[in-house]
Structure 1
Amino acid sequence: MTSPVPSSPVSNSQFPGSRHTPDRDAAPWRRAATGANLLSEDGSLGVTIFEEMTTLAMQTGAINLGQGFPDEDGPEEMKAAAQEAITAGANQYAPGKGILELREAVSAHQERFYGLRPDPLNEVVVTTGATEAIAASLLAFIQPGDEVLTFEPFYDSYGAIIGLAGGVHVTAPLLAPGFMPDLDRLEAAFGPRTKVVMLNNPHNPAGAVFPRPVLERIVELAEKHDALIVSDEVYEHLTFGVPHIPVATLPGAADRTITISSAGKTFSFTGWKIGWLSGPEHLVAAIRTVKQFLSYSSGTPFQAAVARGLALPDDFYTGIAATLQRKRDILADGLRAAGLGVYLPQGTYFINVDTAPLGISDAVELARRLPGLVGVAAIPVPVFCHPEGAERTRSLLRFAFCKKEDVLVEAASRLATLREKL
């Protein structure tokens, strides 16, 4: 299917990116909340947009396509493996690095799919989901005043941890319709205080999968500024017709890159909270030093089950991508019928739309009306941005399509009535 190219409501050239410097006199929790856009205009602590939209969905009986979690379990053999591990007594603390079986499975997975060979003894660590891997990585290396570069829109966890660490959050915009960076603006976002490039590929919420030239430029700039690369690749197997290229496979990247993934997105077991990171031994050791004082270890029986999952045959991995692509297209048809401009994603399980063709420029306001109007909930993209980026993306909504097909068919049918109900 082809996607129409909606016009952007605001000229991209007006917004080259931003630098968000935390108030170092603020309490750590407040810096974290500010970084994740959780503070209201009067400075009080608000709820996340995910909680707000979920509450609205429950109140109205709407289909919740806001928060990105599947409504189906993953492979039965993984569930059986977790049950077997519990029965066998794997119910106490795992080693701080994670059980060796899973670290070996992560290493074998990286070699099988990408030709990378991290040492399972010293270059792989199991974490409490990718979220802890991200937090431990940034907290290990960021000092107050150091700059962390992300693309914008950005996953809210990045802003929260950068703020908690006292870092300066620098963004480079991803530009519609393809949500690719302008490489000149990307270069301009680097500076003498750039410490970490926080890469998310495939990208949430944009759905972009960065091609080799973009990744090569990121590596070149990281080398030039002696910056680390922390690469969040949790959607690595959820791409549609384009390959996922781990940045660590590119020349010059391996010695400065930490690669992060998890079982939640690939296997649809988000509640198990099993993630991992890999990279050079000296970087992994530093991160492990921080990580052991966050959770120390977690999910012992689930770790063995994930190890089994990572060894599943290739047709499992191609199958989950093909199934998701079919679901993407079901929802995209309903969104187009609603009169929305659809940006068809190359990866993840999120699809973005432009409300401007309907004469609506405020996606936040429409998101609050949508559950009552048509019985579907979504997330406004501006909440994943700093103020400048929020203006650039002010008419964009994000929908999750990691749901059962019959749910998506019903959601598409409801969304198709949006134009007449407006």
Structure 2
Amino acid sequence: MNKRLKEIQISGIRRFYNLVSQYKDAISLTIGQPDFPTPEHVKVAAKLALDNNKTVYTNNAGIIELRRAISNYYKKYGLNYNPEDEVIVTNGASEGIYLALNTILEVGDEVILPGPIYPGYEPVIKLCGAVPVFVDTTNNGFKLTAESIKDKLSSKTKCIIIPTPSNPTGVVLSYDELSKIASLVSNKDIFIVSDEIYSELVYDFEHTSIASFKEVFDNTIVINGLSKSHSMTGFRIGYTLAPKYITCEMIKLHQYINSCASSIGQYAALEALTNGLDDASPMREEYKKRRDFVYKRLIEIGFDVIKPNGAFYIFPSIKKFGLSSLDFATKLLESEKVAVVPGDAFSHLGEGYIRISYASSMDTLEEGLNRIGIFLKKL
């Protein structure tokens, strides 16, 4: 067996999500799954693709119409990518992460990434034979800053990962914060992987892509997709945006992993990015209401918590309750039948926190938080 693979564990998010099924009537606030249906016109487009026999291989990089739509979509962030050779349609954003890291990393390289962080990066870094170098953001409002990155730079630094909005914290880096990072990395032989899968779910200011800063454009790989913006998780359509010299290397890896993304999914995504550009708006407004409710309620029942600006997660501290994140989550599930994700699923720097997803109805959130309040009184 591959020794590197033997060291990789199943995601803690999935492990706890699967555990919930053993508890009848449990309320699950665990998974990053939008609770809105896929927009009707997108489903119609998928059905039409089937009816019109759009069921064959596409170009490795994806149908050109979709790549053009993706390129046009990103112009609102001040970016211009050539759909012919700077866009790849992938099997979800997860494949985009895999392609990016496997294309740029070699054995011994170091990758700087914030912690706590989504667990989909560290295993891929290690499988490449590279070394994850975590920046502790827990004392800085969960924000990756130019100053904290500077402290971790070395002669082996090959890449910096910037997820904004962040999973699990919901934190969003502002234009000024990203500008400082861009200035730091400018003229350095360092790649940036910018995971922007939640770009449509930013509540209090506009999303900024670090690729929009010209000093780092040539070294930046942007990853995004339709899963969160259009509630299309099962369609498995993501994409990468990167300069030609990077994209022409990533496509080599992509063609041997996937050949191409799902043809049906691509035609559905084309509809989403042409006639569904405003589909995320009502979802975003509802998530914002839920964010405000959950944040206020968590404070009322005794949590210390930072208010998120994006995505649909909140990451309250449990340090004052004297339990590890796994013990807290397990006891909460056993006692009150509410499932949250232990913070240590998001690297060792997530210990002392839990992740709550508010991608659930307001009634579900209200009941879940009431039960959590009852649980805290029992501690």
Query: Structures share a fold, TM > 0.5?
Result: yes
Partner of 1:3: none
Is residue 342 from structure 1 mapped to residue 299 from structure 2 by the alignment?
A: no
Distance 1:59 1:401 in 2: 22
Offset, 1:226: 1.0
Instruction: Confirm or deny that 1:92 pairs with 2:56.
Output: yes
Match of 2:67 among 103, 128, 134: 103
Give the whole-Å Cα distance in 1 for the aligned partners of 2:140 and 2:296.
Answer: 18
Match of 1:73 in 2: 37
Q: Deviations over 1:63-116 (max 9, x none)?
A: 1111211233221111111111111101111210101111011011011x2121
- Residues 103-135 of structure 1 deviation map (CA, whole Å, 9 limit, x = unaligned): 011011011x21212111111110000010110
Structure 1: how far apart are the matches of 2:139 and 2:323?
15
In percent, how many aligned pairs have the same letter? 28
Q: CA deviation at 1:273?
A: 0.7
Match of 2:94 among 119, 131, 144: 131
Corresponding residue to 2:327 among 365, 374, 384: 365
For structure 1, which segment, 313-322 or 395-404, has the greater mean C-alpha deviation from structure 2 after superposition?
313-322
Matched, 1:417 2:374: yes
Q: Contact conserved, 2:36 with 2:283, CA < 8 A, in 1?
A: no
2:220 and 2:15 map into 1 onto residues whose CA distance is: 36
Q: Mark the CA change 1:48 to 1:107 in structure 2 (over 3 Å): closer, same or farther.
A: closer
1:382 lines up with 2:340 in the alignment: no
Which residue identity does 1:248 align to in structure 2?
Answer: A
Change (3 A) 1:337 1:59: farther
Say if 1:342 and 1:353, in contact at 8 Å, map to a contact too. yes
- 3-state secondary structure, aligned to 1:252: helix
Which whole-Å CA distance do the structure 2 matches of 1:354 and 1:177 have between them? 14
CA contact 1:136–1:287 (8 Å) conserved in 2? yes
Q: CA separation in 2, counterparts of 1:104 and 1:183? A: 33
Task: State the alpha-carbon separation in 1 of the partners of residues 378 and 21 from structure 2.
Answer: 21
Residue 401 of structure 1, CA deviation: 0.8
Per-residue CA distance 1:162-187 (angstroms, 9 max, x = gap): 01100011111223462123543320
Paired residues for 1:11-410 under 5 Å:
27-31=3-7, 33=8, 38=9, 47-61=10-24, 62-111=26-75, 113-176=76-139, 178-312=141-275, 315-357=278-320, 359-386=321-348, 389=349, 393-410=350-367
Q: Aligned equivalents of 1:271 and 1:213: distance in 2? A: 35
Aligned CA distance change for structure 1 residues 98 and 314 (closer, same or farther; 3 Å)? closer
Aligned equivalents of 1:420, 1:244: Cα separation in 2 = 39
CA distance in 1, matches of 2:96, 2:176: 27
* 1:207 alignment partner, SS class: coil
Could you tell me how far apart the structure 1 residues matched to 2:62 and 2:202 are? 28
CA shift, 1:224, in A, is 4.2
The AA in structure 1 aligned to 2:334 is G
Residues 98, 413 of structure 1: alpha-carbon distance in 2 compared, 3 angstrom cutoff: same
Assess if the C-alpha contact under 8 Å between 2:137 and 2:144 holds in 1. yes
- Structure 1 residues 302 and 313, CA gap change in structure 2 (3 angstroms): closer
CA distance in 1: counterparts of 2:368 and 2:301, whole angstroms = 11
1:72–1:404: 8 Å Cα contact kept in structure 2? Answer: no
Q: Where do 5+ consecutive residues of structure 2 fail to align?
A: none
Could you tell me how far 1:265 is from its partner in structure 2?
Answer: 1.0
Letter in 2 for 1:257: T
Deviations 1:212-267, CA, capped at 9 Å, x for gaps: 23212322332343101111100001111122100111131211111110111111
Go from structure 1 to structure 2 and tell me whether the alpha carbon gap of 1:102 and 1:258 turns closer, same or farther (over 3 Å shift).
same
* Pair 372,418 (structure 1): closer, same or farther in 2 beyond 3 Å: same
Deviation per residue, 1:18-72 (Å, 9 max, x gap) = xxxxxxx9723125x0xxxx2xxxxxxxx53223322332222311111211233
Shift of 1:361: 4.1
Give the CA deviation at 1:196.
1.3
Shift of 1:339: 1.8
Note the alpha carbon deviations across 1:350-379, whole angstroms, 9 max, x for none.
10111234x334222101111122221111
Number of aligned residue pairs: give it.
Answer: 378
**Could you state the TM-score of these two structures normalised by the residue count of structure 2?**
0.94
Which structure 1 segments of 5+ residues have no match? 1-24, 39-46
Q: Is the 8 A contact 2:116 2:142 kept in 1?
A: no
Residues 319-361 of structure 1: per-residue CA shift (max 9 Å, x gap) = 222111112223334433432222211111110111234x334
Partners of 1:229 and 1:90 lie apart in 2 by 35
- Alpha-carbon contact 1:65-1:377 (below 8 Å) kept: yes
- Whole-Å Cα distance in 1 between the matches of residues 351 and 116 of structure 2? 11
* Change over 3 Å in CA distance of 1:331–1:312 after alignment to 2: farther
SS of 1:383's partner is coil
Distance 2:314 2:42 in 1: 28
Letter in 2 for 1:75: P
- Answer with 80-89 or 303-312: which moved more: 303-312
